[in-house]
Structure 1
Amino acid sequence: MQTKRRTRVTKNPSSNGAHEDRESLSHLLAPTDEEARAGIVSPLIEQAEYSDEEQRRRRARSRNFMITATLVFSVAIIMVISSLAPKYDWFKRKDYNGDGNGTSVSFVVSEGDTNGQIAANLEEAGVIADAGRFLETYQKDAADKFIQPGDYDLQEHMSSSAAISQLVGDQDANSIYLAIPQNMRKDEAYQAIADALGVNITEVSKYDKELDTFGIPKKFPNLEGWLHPGEYRFEQGTSAEDVIRTLVDHTKSELKAANITSEDDQFHVLTVASILEFEATARDYKPVAGAIENRLDNPDGETGGFLQSDATVAYGLGKKTYHISNEEKQDASNKYNTFYYQGLPAGPIGSPATEAINAAANPDKNDYYFWVTVNLDTGETKFAKTFEEHEKNVEEYNQWCSDNEGKCV
């Protein structure tokens, strides 16, 4: 019987270098004839077959791969920056230098325009580079001065400082400044007016029910809803009556712009608009307005024609809260209790701004009957067509309140 054995090759001391070492080791581990026929090869054959030239080619391929990967990554970064830069204004110029480029711009500041609105309008008109930078400069250099309503001759590409100087001029620092924020109730507005004028609040609140004096329909119970929010500037000596008339006239102009002219429509729009500002953030005004109209238009539906607004109940109770008890929801003495009374409450519950007025005048057409703000920090509001769906959204709101103690009061 023929004996199978491996052929052993010893290293020749006279052999030259690593090549011979590798060749000797390859012979040492070489398979037998029978192993070779079975397809078994030496584990070093593949390595042994790499010539110096092949190794150079492999290194070159590896280097080329890394270069290609780096280029692809760089292109991807550039594409991401290109797509995000316009959104976040990364490369936006924040200010111009000097007094302008010589191109005149006729600029109008309307009664009630806030500083934020003025800044945005200046940027849109090309007068300043950035509204945010303008407001920062204004707060730093002219916080004690006010931009009066009127027409101004400005220029394109003015620095924020130059534009502010033109707008405030050599203004008397003792001029009267009045701010009426959104959602401000009439009693708070009366106090703000009294503080601005330096008079007792009774000098202002005495006009509360003098609707004829300001041309307000008698359907309204008082001036609530007509004291348009905004920033106002008045000359020293302006009376409380004239201040109120200015605010009321601003509301009238907004209603007219929204094509709301009849007394019934004015009552409806101002009341709904005031509810919107307490029930939703601006991005949800129109869908919430649509849901309100669905409830009002369908008294036989699941909601029975009831608005069921916590905000209206709270107003009638004379307090500000997100939580209304079941007992309070059954209080018939509260004419703003939209859980007890169908339809709209007795009147507006605050001073609605332009965006809310426009949403109430042009609500979204939708199938919603329910809404709830599930995150009071972000204002995220969820809508539902049925009460069953709504209950799930309410659970989410309750969970948020549980996770954010003290915010749902």
Structure 2
Amino acid sequence: MHDFFASQVQWVGDGEPVPSLAPPPPPSSRRQMRQVRKLTRRRRRVHMLIALAAAIVALACVFATLNYVRHAPSRIEPTKSVAADWPGPGSGSVEFTVESGQGTDRIASNLVKADVVKSADAFLQAVVNAGSSAQIQPGTFGLKRHMKASDAAAILTDPKQAGGFLQVRAGDRSRDVIERAARISGVSKDDFDAIVNGQGAGVLPAEASGSFEGWFEPGTYDVKKMKSAGNILRTMVDKRVEKLDKLGVPQGADREKILNIASITEAEVNKSEYYGKVSRVIDNRLDKGMSLGMDSTVAYSKNVSALNLTNDMLNDSSDPYNTRVHQGLPPTPIGNAGDQAIRAAMSPEPGDWLYFVTVNMDTGETKFTSSSSEFDAFANEYKQWESRHSQ
């Protein structure tokens, strides 16, 4: 090695070596040639190792950079900015409407335009803070100008504050739905009564036999925009027919019978797991020629809650809806059944049950049996629960 480097320099007068500008002389012996080749191979290996090491370092840097970028959001604290908001409580009066299916961003923008909230960001944050269970309701709301965003969000997520939109729920009676529809829409109740008294001519299908009971589809309806009682009633009935067709409910007399059974099931059931069983009890009692003995049908006729029935009501033989006295189904459905009750009426759960008793009103636990003696035992179990909770 020393000989090789020595051959690459030349000496000058002051004794300092300087690089030679001329190419090195050829080796003077085979030994020198072997040394040169050996040195050359060594240099190549060193260069390859250096290049490989550099490549490994570069790849490591790239990987580290990508990993850092990927996980940066979890390490970096978000910048917390305070959205512009009014201090509240606001003043004046603003009638604000939320359309069905309208997005939260659009609602926030409209609130800013109506001068209700100061910024869309403040309102959106207020909705997030309200939690996933708080949903903005469709309807018309009474708000103020310059409200605190959280106050506006609290009103818009409260179903009781919504106006203009009619909510029809499973189990609702037609008389109650019509009363709410008249109040919310501003259409005269007399206009609704005229159509009802006219047996729904031009609105109801033939299967309904002139009664609206059971023929309103549960859902949300923008009744203020419908302008007339006829449009409101027709929309709810048409939606019901559309749903029945979708569920595969047979037409004609069978359709009305299924709605009748489903309405009783809806009124009697307190937990979803019991729909099929209650429907089976109704079918079994009808098949055996037994009276249904359902308090819910009497409560419907008397327009009271089943909890407020009296012995006189339950023993009134002049009431065609009194299924304790009269055999068979009542003259009409007793409410608007939901999808689950309708499916149960078409395909009840297999069983020989003839009786059922809700033995615990807190938990909704209901027991089913085909034995009258066991039914009496269940009834006593309920009475014991009632006595414990009446003190």
TM-score (norm 2): 0.57
Equivalent of residue 240 in structure 2, options 227, 251, 269: 251
Q: What is the CA–CA distance in structure 1 between the aligned matches of 2:261 and 2:184, rounded to whole Å? A: 29
Q: CA deviation at 1:376?
A: 2.1
Flag the 1:136–1:203 CA change in 2: closer, same or farther, 3 A.
Answer: farther
CA RMSD across the alignment: 3.4
* C-alpha deviation, 1:280, in angstroms: 1.0
Aligned residues: 250
Which of 276, 285, 290 is equivalent to 2:265?
276
Map of 1:355 onto structure 2:
340
1:135 Cα offset (Å): 8.9
Partner of 1:215: 204
> How far apart, CA to CA, are the structure 2 residues paired with 1:330 and 1:139?
45
Verify: 1:183 aligned to 2:168, yes or no: no
- 1:383 and 2:383 equivalent? no
Q: Amino acid of the residue matched to residue 264 of structure 1? A: A
Identity level (%): 30
Whole-angstrom distance in 1 between the partners of 2:232 and 2:174: 14
Q: Name the residue aligned to 1:285.
A: 275
Distance in 1 between the 2:357 and 2:178 partners? 31
Q: Distance in 1 between matches of 2:269 and 2:344?
A: 12
Aligned to 1:242: 231
1:54-65 maps to which residues of 2 (within 5 A)? none
| Distance in 1 separating the partners of 2:210 and 2:223 | 28
Contact 1:307 1:342 in 2 (8 A): yes
Structure 1: distance between partners of 2:238 and 2:274: 27
- 1:374 and 1:380 in contact (8 A); partners too: yes
Please state if 1:314 is matched with 2:302.
no
Query: Which residue in the other structure is 1:346 paired with?
Result: 331
Gaps of 5+ in 2: 1-99, 104-126, 141-155
Deviation at residue 145 of structure 1 after TM alignment: 5.2
- Residue of structure 2 in register with 1:206 after alignment: 194
Question: Does the aligned pair in 1 maintain the 2:187–2:228 contact within 8 Å?
Answer: no
CA positional deviation for 1:136: 4.0
Distance (whole Å) between structure 1 residues aligned to residue 250 and residue 203 of structure 2? 16
Q: For each residue in 1:245-300, what CA deviation from the matched residue of structure 2 results, as whole angstroms up to 9, or x when unmatched?
A: 1111122122212322322111111111111111112221111101110001112x
The alpha-carbon deviation at position 331 of structure 1 amounts to 1.9
Q: What's the secondary structure of 2:328's corresponding residue?
A: coil
| Structure 1 residue 326 displacement after superposition | 4.6
Task: Give matches, 1:7-406, under 5 Å.
Answer: 136=131, 139=134, 142-143=136-137, 176-209=164-197, 210-217=199-206, 220=209, 222-234=211-223, 236-281=225-270, 282-299=272-289, 305-322=290-307, 324-405=309-390
1:370 CA drift (Å): 0.3
Distance 1:325 1:175, change over 3 A: closer
Q: Taking structure 1 as the reference length, what is the TM-score of the superposition?
A: 0.55
Unaligned runs of 5+ residues in structure 1 are 1-111, 116-131, 147-167, 300-304
Matches of 2:349 and 2:356, distance apart in 1: 14
Following superposition, the deviation at residue 351 of structure 1 comes to 1.2
Conserved in 1, the CA contact under 8 Å of 2:204 and 2:210? no
Q: Which has the larger radius of gyration?
A: 2
Mapped to 2, the partners of 1:380 and 1:260 lie a distance apart of: 30
Distance (Å, rounded) in 1 between the aligned partners of 2:355 and 2:206: 31
